[in-house]
Structure 1
Amino acid sequence: MNIGMEIDNSELFKQTFLQAFIGLSLMNEEGQFLEVNETICQLLGYTSDELKSLTIHDVTHPDDVADNLSFFSRLKKCAITNYQTEKKYISRAGNVIWTVTNISKVKDSNILIAQIKDITAQKQKEETYKEKEAHYHLMTEYSTDLIMRHDPSGKAFCISPSAKEILGYKPEELMGVSPYDNTFMHPDDLRLTIASHQQISYTGKITKVRYRIRKKNGVYTWLESTAKGIFNKATNQLEEIITVSRDCTDHVMNDIKLKESEERYRTIVESSIDAIGIHDLEGNLVYANPSALKQLGIKDVTGQPIHNFLTREGRDKFDGRMAEFEQINTFTNRLVDYKVKRCDGSIRDVEVMTDKIIYEGKPAVQFIARDYTEQKKYEDFIHKADKLNVVGELAAGVAHEIRNPLTTIKGFIQLFQAKHSCYEQYFQLINSEFDRVEAIIYEFLTLAKPHKETIFKEENIFQILEEVVTLENANALLKNIEIEYKSVQETLLICCDKRSLKQVFINVLQNALEATSEKGKIEIFVEKKNNQFVEISFKDNGCGIPKHLIDRLGEPFYTLKEKGTGLGLMVSFKIIENHRGAILLDSEEGEGTTVTIQIPLCGDCPQISVGNV
């Protein structure tokens, strides 16, 4: 190497000294700064000249000055040749600077060289960590929850004192113990807790799990634990698991009791003979029990409006109840009657009780409905029977008291008629009224003898109808009303009392003639149904009957005719009932009325029917 290329070693040392990344300084044995580099100037906030006027003791933190002087004394006495320590400095701005300071004595001289490395950031992290640790220990010391730290395998290495209160163990008794040991964990919960542990290990997500663990006294208790995995940021490996657990036995027991209560309630609702359902505040059904589905005759009602199953009157009532609810946010505790439409079109009478509930987190209305259609029919039957008994008792007395004097009066009227033919028109009027009175008396007597035995015989329904139509055709011609009747076959046998049945047909046909205006028409149809019974329908195009009055027809003394008694139709109902048949009425105001009489076909015909009229 050429002499010109050689590097001045002293210059090289000087540049290395000045540009070093750690603080460097030369000092005498008293600690006076002789030379400093830029790093130490920046660290302490002084210029080079300012530091050279100071000693290292001047910038040392008061807490470390005594130790500093001690070290320098030993260096001066050659007791040591160097030392290294963590110490604090005070910067020109008054900030505390943490450092690792290494001071060595240059061989065969009174010069000291100091190396100062800034570790303030590291120390701050350590202090922060210590504070957090202190907070953690404070929290675990006084927490009523069981706080534990586990290694990646699940073994506990830090346990809060609450372990004694919750599990009966002192914390040291559980150190290093795995919770997955059969001694502690309930066998039925092992799979669930292990799966939770694996989830933490793989994903690091917070998990929550309930399980049973055996206490020191041998009794299992329910714990609810929230667990979080702590991972090494550099390696992304699980370092520990922190769990916070609390005794949730009471909560679990309450959940079990609530579930049992719900099951009992569901069983009661599902097996109830009453219709029970729930609808939202818009009136759409969200639930219906089997009885409700049966009552409506359908398989599912979910989402259907209540209106679909109510008559017009029922819809108005329902809307009124919902408007009441909107005003006072509850329902008055009372039963409301509705007429409900089944899917087959039939109408049922139901009484409904409603109440406000919460269903699936939303306000809703629960209703309990009881079908009392049959009960109402029975009550109506009893009511009519009571009336019938009264009429029977009245008829027995009145008919007897009126018939005898009426016979005498009628006889004398006939004698007067023979001698005073000039008043023939008056006598005819008197005799017609006598006939009407006798007809009424006959109806009274019919009611007064409900238990008369009547012989049932096989009769041809077409022959009976022919006789009735022939008899009433004269009245129809006088009123200019057409009776249309054609036999579809010659013979159709039924088991009946011919006289009583003729009385019914005449009564129905006369009512139709009275209700039909001039040039009107009455049609008679006969139809065989399912080889079980025959239907005889009398259809007129008269004035019709209001719907709300139809149900009352057949009651004693209830009539829509000006001079009627209401007994004729009642007797007709009774006769057909004793023939094991039925009378059905259908009418529209202004369009006419159809009376349908159903009578069983001839089968095992009883020769005597007790209780016939």
Structure 2
Amino acid sequence: MQYEDVSYKFKTTILAAALDQAPLGIAVVDTRQRFMQINNLFSNVMEMDSERLIGCTIYEVMCEKSGAVQAEKLTTIAKQIITTGGIYTINAWKSLNSWQYIDWTLKRLEVDGVAIGVLVTIADVSKQVQLQQEVETYQQQLAHLVEKSTAELRRANERFYTAFNVMPSLMLISDQQGRIINANSSFAKVTGWKKEETIGCTPVEIGLCSQAVFEDIEYKFWQDGYVRNMEISLMTQAGQIRSALFSAEKIVVDGETQMLGMATDVTDAKLMKSEMMRLDGLDLVGQMAAGISHEVRNPMTTVRGFLQMLLKKEECKPYQEYFELMITELDRANSIISEFLAVVKNKPSCHVETDLNTIIKAIEPLLATAAVASGSTVVLELGKIRCLFLDDKEIRQLLLNLVRNGLEAMEEQPGLVTVRTYEEEDQVVLAIQDQGTGIPPQILAKLGTPFLTSKNNGTGLGLTVCYGIVERHKGKLEVSTGAEGTTFYIRFSQ
């Protein structure tokens, strides 16, 4: 018995020491939820002396430390643990008197299967909670920064692609092999190719430009790192050739160097420049015609009169051939002056509401005579059109000039000149079509320029006169030419 008492005391001492030195706050609560035994750490965490805790209920302690709501909740849980058993853990309970966070764990104590109370353990997790809160705060700040950066990047991308797509110039992005990665709306609008049709293809593969132009751009870009205002020719999906100034810069996307290319369509600007040059020429010719016509015609008339008088004299008969040649040349000079006068821009016009078909029918015999003389045929295909305000004499001259041009274009191989009238898109159209060999490109580019002609005996003023007539009638003259012939379209928008 003496040995057993020593062993019991030793065990009791060890258990008491282990209880006091345990890293957790430990308390034993009886079935009435009164604290029976606690260790030092438990009293320290609860900030209450052991003598004060012993005999108090869970509700009394928790009501003082954390309020009635949490006290009632913990009391209910302890009662449930005593009744049904198991383990229950409550995390992050906050003390009213400090900023401590405590984790509570409750487990039923049993002896021979009978509940004798509850084992309560508590742990101060304030540092862990604080660290977790700091981590959560940092994560929130990081998430905010990421969200802000993502939003800024998204806005930057939206601004770039908005500017990229609304630019009036043709823009595209291509890789180092020249394959198109992206193209803007103007590119699709001008060229006719949809963006989906161009992605992954080079400009040569879709027929946008020639191999030579493509190689010139690629060589200059990758050698110099940029391209500045290179004049190139582009072909649309419909086969129309457009002139453009091409520039390019290097951009880096995901570490890959790409080409940002921009082409400014200058086709209309070049046409306008050409038209301005033509109008300047007309103005110059008009001034010349107005200035010299009367001064030249009067002495020419005098000379012609004396030549005719000398031609009748008997002693001049041996020189008749020379006199007739001089008179012919004077008449030719007079006709050139007449054409000069026809070009004058401020020439008075008399516009009267007239049926264009009536004018054409009126000069049909004259057109037919000119056609017979050249071995060709003139055919009229007159459609139903509305009346226009026209100068009868000027329209006659316009028709004669254009039909004669068509007949002269078929001198080597007589053919058919067709005169058509019809309405198209609220416009009255007069079309004169021949079956000649077409207009050479070098002439077509400068059509209407004074003194420009491909005829041996031409003055280069016939079409200049036609352009002036069309302009005074607020119309537009267009030309379509090829190996099978040429068609002049005069479109009246009255």
TM-score range, shorter chain: 0.5 to 0.7
| Equivalent pair of 2:383/2:422 in contact (CA under 8 Å) | no
Asked if 1:434 corresponds to 2:315, the answer is no
Structure 1 residue 184 displacement after superposition:
6.2
- In the alignment, structure 1 residue 211 sits paired with structure 2 residue 143: no
How far apart are the structure 2 equivalents of 1:388 and 1:487?
32
Amino acid at match of 2:136: M
The aligned counterpart of 1:370 is 264
Confirm or deny that 1:286 pairs with 2:181.
Answer: yes
2:235 and 2:242 in contact (8 A); partners too: yes
Residue 200 of structure 2 corresponds to residue 307 of structure 1 = no
Which has a greater percent of helix? 2
2:160 to 265, 287, 291: 265
2:380 to 486, 491, 501: 486
TM-score (norm 1): 0.53
The one-letter amino acid paired with 2:333 is V
Tell me the residue number matched to 1:175. 127
Distance 2:201 2:421 in 1: 39
Residue equivalent to 2:449: 555
SS of residue in 1 equivalent to 2:357: helix
Name 2:485's counterpart in structure 1: 592
Superposition pairs for residues 118-137 of structure 1, below 5 Å? none
In the other structure, the counterpart of 1:406 is 300
Maintained 8 Å contact 1:504/1:575:
yes
Residue 255 (structure 1) shift: 6.5
What is the identity, as a one-letter code, of the residue corresponding to 1:266? Y
Change (3 A) 1:466 1:362: same
Sort the Cα spacing of 1:380 and 1:211 in 2 relative to 1 into closer, same or farther, 3 A: farther
Q: What is the CA distance between 1:287 and its match in structure 2?
A: 0.6
Residue in structure 1 matched with residue 142 of structure 2 by the alignment: 222
| Aligned counterparts of 1:599 and 1:318: Cα–Cα separation in 2 | 41
Distance in 1, Cα, partners of 2:407 & 2:368: 10
What is the Cα-based RMSD across aligned positions, in Å?
A: 3.5
Please name the residue that 2:439 is paired with: 545
1:470 is matched with: 365
Task: Please state how far the C-alpha of 1:460 moved relative to its aligned partner.
Answer: 3.2
Alpha-carbon distance change, 432 to 595 in structure 1, aligned in 2, over 3 angstroms: farther
- 1:374 is aligned with what amino acid? D
Question: C-alpha separation between the residues in 2 aligned to 1:431 and 1:395?
Answer: 22
**For residues 421 and 270 of structure 2, what CA distance do their matches in structure 1 show?**
31
Is the contact between residue 343 and residue 464 of structure 2 (CA under 8 Å) also seen in structure 1?
no
Per the TM alignment, residue 417 of structure 1 is displaced from its structure 2 partner at its CA by 2.8
- Give the Cα separation in 1 of the matches to 2:179 and 2:188: 15
Report the Cα offset of residue 412 of structure 1: 1.2
- Please say if 1:513 is aligned against 2:407: yes
**Aligned match of 1:322 in 218, 240, 246?**
218
Shift in CA distance, 365/465, structure 1 to aligned 2, threshold 3 Å: same
Match of 1:392 in 2: 286
CA contact (8 A) 1:309 1:341 kept: no
TM-score norm. by structure 2 comes to: 0.65
Q: Which amino acid aligns with 1:398?
A: I
1:474 is paired with a residue whose SS is helix
Mapped to 2, the partners of 1:311 and 1:418 lie a distance apart of 72
Quick one: structure 1 residues 406 and 310, their matched pair in 2 at CA, closer, same or farther if it must change by over 3 Å? farther
Q: Give the letter for the 2:129 counterpart.
A: V
Provide the secondary structure at the position in 2 that maps to 1:176.
helix
2:171 corresponds to which of 262, 270, 276: 276
Contact 1:526 1:534 in 2 (8 A): no
Separation in 1 of the partners of 2:346 and 2:91?
93
How much has 1:503 moved relative to structure 2?
1.0
**Cα gap change, 1:546 to 1:174, in 2 (>3 Å):** farther
Letter matched to residue 433 of structure 1:
E
How big is the shift at 1:520? 0.9
**Superposition pairs of residues 85-96 of structure 1, within 5 angstroms:** none
SS in 2 for 1:335: strand
Partner amino acid, structure 2, of 1:291? S
Distance 1:174 1:554, change over 3 A: farther
> Does structure 1 retain, via aligned residues, the 8 Å contact 2:443–2:452?
no
Q: Which amino acid aligns with 2:218?
A: M
Q: Deviation of residue 428 (structure 1)? A: 4.4
Give, in whole Å, the separation in 1 of the partners of 2:126 and 2:279: 86
What's the offset of the Cα at 1:335? Answer: 0.9
CA distance in 1, matches of 2:381, 2:177: 56
Question: How far, CA to CA, are the matches of 1:154 and 1:575 in structure 2?
Answer: 98
CA distance in 1, matches of 2:426, 2:148: 62
Identify the match of residue 455 of structure 1 among 336, 347, 350: 350
Match of 1:113 in 2: none
Aligned match of 1:444: 340
- Contact in 1 for aligned 2:385/2:421 (Cα 8 Å): no
Distance 1:554 1:276, change over 3 A: same
Give 3-state SS (helix, strand or coil) of 1:306's partner: coil
Deviations 1:416-466 (A, max 9, x none): 233356665555443333332222112222334x22332212333334334
CA distance in 2, matches of 1:562, 1:174: 108
Residues 379 and 425 of structure 1: CA distance in aligned 2, closer, same or farther (over 3 Å): same
- 1:501 aligned to which of 387, 391, 395: 395
**Cα contact 2:428–2:491 (8 A) shared by 1:** yes
Partner-residue secondary structure (3-state), 2:452: coil
Q: Report the CA distance between 1:490 and its aligned residue.
A: 8.7
One-letter code aligned to 1:594: T
What are the Cα deviations for residues 234-259 of structure 1, in whole angstroms up to 9, with x where unaligned?
xxxxxxxxxxxxxx97x987766555
Consecutive unaligned residues of structure 1, counting only runs of 5 or more, are 1-152, 156-171, 187-209, 213-220, 224-247, 604-613
Given that residues 181 and 199 in structure 2 are in contact (C-alpha distance below 8 angstroms), is that contact kept between their aligned partners in structure 1?
yes
Task: Structure 2: state its 5+ residue gaps.
Answer: 1-89, 93-123
Offset at 1:550?
A: 0.5
C-alpha contact 1:462 1:487 (8 A) present in aligned 2:
no
Asked if 1:185 is matched to 2:81, the reply is: no
Which structure has more relative contact order (CA 8 Å, sep 6+)? It is: 2
Q: Which residue of 2 aligns with 1:416?
A: 310
Q: Which amino acid aligns with 1:303?
A: G
Aligned partner of 1:524 in structure 2 is: 418
* Contact 1:462/1:492, CA 8 A, preserved across alignment: no
Give 1:106-121 correspondences, 5 Å limit.
none
**1-structure distance, mates of 2:488, 2:237:** 25
Q: 2:383, 2:149 → 1: CA distance? A: 76
Deviation at 1:366, TM superposition (A): 1.2
- 1:521 & 1:375 partners in 2: Cα distance? 37
2: CA distance, partners of 1:316 / 1:154: 77
Rounded to whole Å, the distance in 2 between the matches of 1:290 and 1:594 is 34
Q: Quote how far apart the aligned CAs of 1:485 are.
A: 0.7
Amino acid at match of 2:408: E
Aligned residue pairs total 370
- Matched residues in 1 for 2:218 and 2:325: separation? 62
Percent identical pairs in the alignment equals 27
Equivalent position amino acid for 2:139 in 1: Y
- For residues 496 and 439 of structure 1, the distance between their equivalents in structure 2, rounded to whole angstroms, comes to 25
Partner of 2:107: none
Deviation of 1:569 after TM superposition, in Å, equals 0.8
Tell me the distance in 1 between the aligned counterparts of 2:343 and 2:443: 23
The 3-state SS of whatever aligns with 1:453 is: coil
Provide, for residues 10-46 of structure 1, a one-character-per-residue CA deviation record: whole Å limited to 9, x for no partner: xxxxxxxxxxxxxxxxxxxxxxxxxxxxxxxxxxxxx
Alpha carbons 1:547, 1:588 under 8 Å: kept: no
Counterpart of 2:215 in structure 1: which amino acid?
D
1:566 and 1:351 mapped to 2: Cα distance?
33
Per the alignment, residue 163 of structure 1 pairs with none
Distance 1:446 1:424 in 2: 33
